[in-house]
Structure 1
Amino acid sequence: MDVFFMAENKKRYYFVDEAGDGTLFGKSGGIVIGTEGCSKFFILGVLAVSDPEALTNELTILRQQLLADPYFKKVPSMQSEAKKTYFAFHAKDDVPEVRREVLSVFKKHDLQFLAVIRNKYKVLEYVRQRNSQDPAYRYHPNELYDFMVRILFKDLLHKENEYDVTFAKRGTQDRTTSLREALEKAQFRFATQRNISNNSVVNVIPTIPVKCVPLQAVDYILWSLQRFYEMHEDRYIELLWP
């Protein structure tokens, strides 16, 4: 009798978010890089989480404990009407004591983080060069985002049978199709360059951080990285990578 062994159907979980934005120009066409409300860098990061459920449970319990702690009783961001920490962790809104607690949780879990960082002044140089060759060309931030997705995932989608790639939704525009195409291009280019076949299934899942705790985790890491690049503040980075 022949005996066949089924290969284990391995799945990997990725969570993707951004820090900063891809904006180069204001409504009047002027350069707004580095002005108030506009970052100097655009960062796209992916967090690989071995056990999303365990991370979700621990961060959820932590948030509940912090909300019940009398020390935080009068902290504005932790009140229900503020619609901030009361519902989800968000590094920009959370107080430093909360940030420290959240970052300490990450060390207990099997997490891997990768990021692509673009200096927007360098992007501006590219746009100007492109315009000199093609006057009809018009830059759009989605172009930069999709390019960075391809770079970020260029060699992350070929080892396992299946991938869940959860993206933080931004704005009202549904970009699921565009993101899927960017991932497929990254997958195809890697397979072509290595001369291998790739039949991995990639599931693209757009959602918001309040509904997905691991997205709150990647937000924290990206915020820490952004503080380092934009403000040269390293205390949060050192908590992540001592």
Structure 2
Amino acid sequence: MTHPRFKNIPSVQPEAKKTAITFHAKDDHPEIREKVFELMESFDIKVLIAIRSKADMAESAKANFKSLGTKLQQNAIYDDLITRVFKNLLHKADVINIAIARRGKAVREEALEQAINQAQKNFESQWKISSNSSIIIEPTYPSEVAGLQVIDYYLWAVQRCYERDDDQFFLPLAKKYRLIMDLDDNRNKPYGEWYSDRNPLTLEKLKGARSK
């Protein structure tokens, strides 16, 4: 905020409530964004992501509403993604702290706890391994937890691949992504396409998904 080259950038001004209080890839100035990405290359971090396609969900929602008369709820989609992301992670430590970005004004702690509990149950059902981990869930704002700012940047880099055929931000960090679950790309498997070291995410593969 005091750097001569950056201090007059609109997003850095305190009244803008953007870069001045939290890093956010969409809002940050390109030069600041580049510095954040350079810093992130040194982080010892593992990233797991679950992705849904709005277009595919819209078609599914129309079909469900026509046959069942029920509407697809955003919170239900969000909670399902949380369950999927955390399924194989909740047995790896005695105490697990989960910071979840608050969405709007609602905290929804009970619903988030249910999603996490379901993840535990799904893991135990599949692997027959129970977990006694103590799980602490903290709905919070990115300005209060650096990890939420970091994952925002990782998500933004993947979004650029999907929506703009642009992998310049993704490639330098590609090895940090341990798993990217594209749940609506069912060309090869009914549960979606899982990108990892064995199946790296590339623009060519995404183009194939869009032409399915």
Q: TM-score range by the shorter chain?
A: 0.7 to 0.9
Give the length in aligned residue pairs: 175
**Counting strand residues as a fraction of each chain, which structure ranks higher?**
1
Q: Does 1:128 align with 2:62?
A: yes
The 1-side partners of 2:46 and 2:139 are apart by: 20
Q: Does 1:208 align with 2:208?
A: no
4+ long deviations beyond 4 Å? none
The 1-side partners of 2:117 and 2:65 are apart by: 28
The 2-side partners of 1:172 and 1:240 are apart by: 32
- TM-score normalised by length of structure 1: 0.68
| Aligned amino acid, residue 96 of structure 2 | Y
Aligned match of 1:49 = none
Match of residue 152, structure 2, among 219, 223, 231: 219
| Aligned amino acid, residue 159 of structure 1 | K
| Aligned amino acid, residue 71 of structure 2 | R
Ranges in structure 2 where 5+ consecutive residues have no aligned partner? 176-212
Moved more, 206-215 or 81-90: 81-90
Match of residue 83, structure 2, among 120, 129, 150: 150
Q: Does 1:173 align with 2:106?
A: yes
SS of 1:116 mapped into structure 2: strand
- 1:125-173 Cα offsets, whole Å, 9 max, x none, are 32233234312x1221111111111111111111211211100101011
| Aligned amino acid, residue 136 of structure 2 | N
| Aligned amino acid, residue 220 of structure 1 | Y
Cα deviation for residue 85 of structure 1 reads 1.2
- 1:15-34 Cα offsets, whole Å, 9 max, x none, are xxxxxxxxxxxxxxxxxxxx
SS of 1:202 mapped into structure 2: strand
Task: Give the alignment's Cα RMSD to 1 decimal.
Answer: 1.6
Aligned match of 2:129 = 196
| Aligned amino acid, residue 110 of structure 2 | T
| Aligned amino acid, residue 123 of structure 1 | M
Q: Does 1:104 align with 2:32?
A: no
Counterparts in 2 of 1:65-104, with a 5 A limit? 67-104=1-38
Match of residue 74, structure 2, among 121, 141, 159: 141
The 1-side partners of 2:34 and 2:103 are apart by: 26
The 1-side partners of 2:65 and 2:18 are apart by: 42
CA contact (8 A) 2:41 2:172 kept: no
Aligned match of 1:183 = 116
Cα deviation for residue 241 of structure 1 reads 2.5
Ranges in structure 1 where 5+ consecutive residues have no aligned partner? 1-66
SS of 1:126 mapped into structure 2: helix
- TM-score normalised by length of structure 2: 0.77
- 1:159-217 Cα offsets, whole Å, 9 max, x none, are 21121110010101121110110010010111122112211111110100111122111
Cα deviation for residue 84 of structure 1 reads 1.5
CA contact (8 A) 2:18 2:24 kept: yes
Aligned match of 1:57 = none
| Aligned amino acid, residue 109 of structure 1 | F
| Aligned amino acid, residue 69 of structure 1 | H
| Aligned amino acid, residue 112 of structure 1 | K
The 2-side partners of 1:224 and 1:205 are apart by: 25
SS of 2:52 mapped into structure 1: strand
The 1-side partners of 2:102 and 2:49 are apart by: 18
